[in-house]
Amino acid sequence: MFPASQRYDRQIRFPGLGEEGQARLGQAKVVQVGCGGLGSTLAQCMVRAGVGRLTIIDSDAADITNLHRQFLFDEEDAEKKAPKALAAAKLLKKADSDAKVSGIVAEFSAVNAGDFLPGNDLVLDGTDNMETRYIINDWCVKHDIPWIYGGVLGATGMIMVVLPGKGPCIRCLYPDAELIGKNAPSAEHAGIINTLPAFIASLQATEAIKLLINSPDLIQDLRIADLWSGDYQRISVNRDPQCPCCGKRRFRFLESAS
Ligand SMILES: [Zn+2]
């Protein structure tokens, strides 16, 4: 058993966080949808930073093709086809035996979103597809819960913080759901370098920490990074009054649940 004052000493010393920030993190409840490349780093950062509770939802089993970029899993997990949500929770408990981290083996959907998301302060996107992100976006905008988008492919990734009622949502950015959905390229087809998910998830986790401690330094725009070329972009995204989700409050991606 290690006292929190020791465990978090180095981040408490960081002026942006401090003791007050650490105390707020300790009260925070976070749910993470997906535990692959992004999710491995998200979960590590959330638990090790000291969030009060982390729930990890993932339906996949670990596979040898994951290991180059999904840093929570090992060969034994891949051989056993261990459910990622459970393997992640087990490993994180080793890092912090006091951590309240739970893994749920389930395929996140419009039907079960209402079972898993309520009661959380923040939803983290560790998914690999836009369909799931639209469900998260609809649910979070409808229920006024912030979420943090992260996307990765090849060597390029992006993040955006979605603050319902205050800033743009993901459908202000990508209004045409049909174009983005099922035909979008995946890591299986387009490949991915192993530094990218860790990098993008680190940006997401940093924004998560800032958001959870009410930091005024939260970023408000879309950030895109190409790690191969080393190019970084900031793109401002405006809230669209005609947005079908946050503008017109039509939550079509939740409709299958009703
Ligand atoms: Zn919107």
Dist. CA 53 → ligand 1 center (Å): 28
Dist. CA 201 → ligand 1 center (Å): 23
Instruction: Give residue 5's pLDDT band: very low, low, confident or very high (50, 70, 90).
Output: confident
Range with lowest mean pLDDT among 110-114, 144-148, 177-181, 225-229 = 177-181
Instruction: Give residue 183's pLDDT band: very low, low, confident or very high (50, 70, 90).
Output: low
Please state, in angstroms and rounded to a whole number, the distance separating the CA atoms of residues 122 and 132: 16
pLDDT tens digits for range 74-100: 999 999 999 999 999 999 999 999 999
pLDDT value at residue 237: 96
Q: List residues bridging with 83 in a β-sheet.
A: 61
Please state, in angstroms and rounded to a whole number, the distance separating the CA atoms of residues 175 and 22: 37
Are the CB atoms for 238 and 168 separated by under 8 Å?
Answer: yes
Are the CB atoms for 130 and 180 separated by under 8 Å?
Answer: yes
Dist. CA 113 → ligand 1 center (Å): 19
Dist. CA 170 → ligand 1 center (Å): 6
The two tokens of residue 88 are: 């992640």
Choose among 100, 103, 90, 123: nearest CA to 58: 103
Amino acid identity of residue 74, one-letter, is D
Dist. CA 143 → ligand 1 center (Å): 14
Q: Is the pLDDT of residue 31 over 90?
A: yes
Q: Is the pLDDT of residue 179 over 60?
A: no
Note the CATH number of domain 4-257: 3.40.50.720
Dist. CA 212 → ligand 1 center (Å): 22
Dist. CA 245 → ligand 1 center (Å): 5
Are the CB atoms for 164 and 239 separated by under 8 Å?
Answer: no
Dist. CA 147 → ligand 1 center (Å): 13
The two tokens of residue 256 are: 């299958």
Choose among 168, 135, 154: nearest CA to 241: 168
Dist. CA 220 → ligand 1 center (Å): 14
Dist. CA 149 → ligand 1 center (Å): 13
Dist. CA 40 → ligand 1 center (Å): 28
Instruction: Give residue 178's pLDDT band: very low, low, confident or very high (50, 70, 90).
Output: low
Please state, in angstroms and rounded to a whole number, the distance separating the CA atoms of residues 43 and 125: 11
Dist. CA 23 → ligand 1 center (Å): 32
Mean local confidence (pLDDT), 19-23 = 97
- What contacts 2, CB < 8 A, 6 or more positions away? none
Dist. CA 19 → ligand 1 center (Å): 35
Dist. CA 29 → ligand 1 center (Å): 24
Q: Is the pLDDT of residue 62 over 80?
A: yes
154 secondary structure, DSSP code: B
Dist. CA 182 → ligand 1 center (Å): 21
